């Protein structure tokens, strides 16, 4: 039994792995960073504000984990490159990349969407992920493999009358993951997406704080509730672990069943 327990720990563990998690000062990103650190990974906590990242990193260290802070605005290519290069200087390797940071500056119909807003959404939610992957994946491949997780959304699976541009960007992330999975699979680099439904985060506050919208949304979901960030953190950790070694190019939907009801 002890041997089986040890092998299970190895299968689902991240001991000694180095993981970058963007947008990890709060919400889903924070939960991913904390979960991976709890499973043994050395985590780079990153978002625009260094002080918020330090709070997360200090919490990880207080629980016996290892974490570093490298602030990054994902819309700026030079900062994206500095994030990857800084991680390599600190830890000498990258095993896991979690592209979680995203923006949604508008709430309304596509007919009212400005070019500037569209470019910002696509740049931050899609192009920045490509920047990160192109910078980090070659090193993973050279060391024998790695895992990339892109946090997308069920908005990329369904039409929406108020966050259409966000949904377009998240659908593009699905295609990005599939294409990168095809390109880098022969080098043992796996690329997958998580598509959360309505999760109770600050990012989705406009949705879950609307009582009418929340009531209709949860009534239509088989689990009859919203999700929590920790319910996404565990999925990301699984996708990064040896237990998911035969999974690539996939979309893992975590939405309480709302898209199947």
- Per-residue model confidence (pLDDT) at position 145: 98
- Per-residue model confidence (pLDDT) at position 205: 64
CA 172 – CA 168 distance, rounded (Å): 6
Which positions of the chain have pLDDT values less than 70?
A: 1-6, 203-209
CA 258 – CA 36 distance, rounded (Å): 27
- Check if 166 is active-site: yes
The backbone torsions φ and ψ at residue 23, rounded to the nearest 5 degrees and listed phi first, read 60, 40
- Per-residue model confidence (pLDDT) at position 3: 58
- Per-residue model confidence (pLDDT) at position 186: 98
How many other β-carbons are positioned within 10 Å of the β-carbon of residue 66?
A: 15
Q: In 232-260, which positions are buried (b, 16+ CB within 10 angstroms) versus exposed (e)?
A: bbbbbbbbbbeebeeebbbbbbbbbebee
Q: Which domains does the chain have, with CATH numbers?
A: 11-200+228-253 (3.40.50.720)
Active-site option among 75, 124, 155, 166: 166
- Per-residue model confidence (pLDDT) at position 208: 59
- Per-residue model confidence (pLDDT) at position 8: 82
Residue in 97, 228, 109 with CA at minimum distance from that of residue 160: 109
Asked if 21 and 33 count as a contact pair (C-beta separation under 8 A), the reply is yes
- Per-residue model confidence (pLDDT) at position 197: 94
Q: What is the pTM of this model?
A: 0.94
């Amino acid at each position: 039994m002890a041997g089986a327990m040890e092998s299970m720990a190895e299968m689902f563990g991240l001991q000694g792995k180095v993981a970058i998690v963007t947008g990890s000062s709060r919400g889903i990103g924070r939960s991913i960073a904390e979960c991976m650190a709890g499973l043994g990974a050395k985590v780079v906590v990153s978002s625009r504000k260094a002080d918020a990242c330090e709070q997360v990193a200090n919490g990880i260290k207080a629980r016996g984990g290892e974490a570093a802070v490298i602030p990054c605005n994902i819309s700026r290519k030079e900062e994206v490159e500095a994030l990857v290069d800084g991680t390599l200087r600190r830890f000498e390797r990258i095993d896991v990349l979690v592209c979680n940071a995203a923006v949604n500056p508008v709430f309304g119909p596509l007919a009212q969407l400005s070019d500037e807003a569209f470019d910002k959404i696509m740049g931050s939610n899609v192009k920045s992920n490509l920047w990160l992957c192109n910078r980090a994946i070659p090193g993973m491949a050279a060391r024998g493999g790695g895992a990339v997780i892109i946090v997308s959304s069920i908005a990329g699976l369904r039409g929406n009358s108020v966050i259409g541009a966000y949904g377009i960007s998240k659908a593009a992330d699905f295609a990005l993951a599939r294409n990168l999975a095809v390109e880098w699979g022969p080098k043992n680099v796996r690329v997958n997406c998580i598509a959360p439904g309505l999760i109770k985060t600050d990012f989705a506050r406009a949705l879950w704080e609307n009582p009418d919208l929340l009531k209709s949304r949860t009534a239509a979901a088989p689990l009859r509730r919203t999700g929590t960030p920790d319910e996404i953190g565990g999925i990301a950790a699984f996708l990064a672990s040896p237990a998911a070694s035969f999974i690539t190019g996939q979309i893992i939907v975590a939405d309480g069943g709302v898209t199947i009801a």
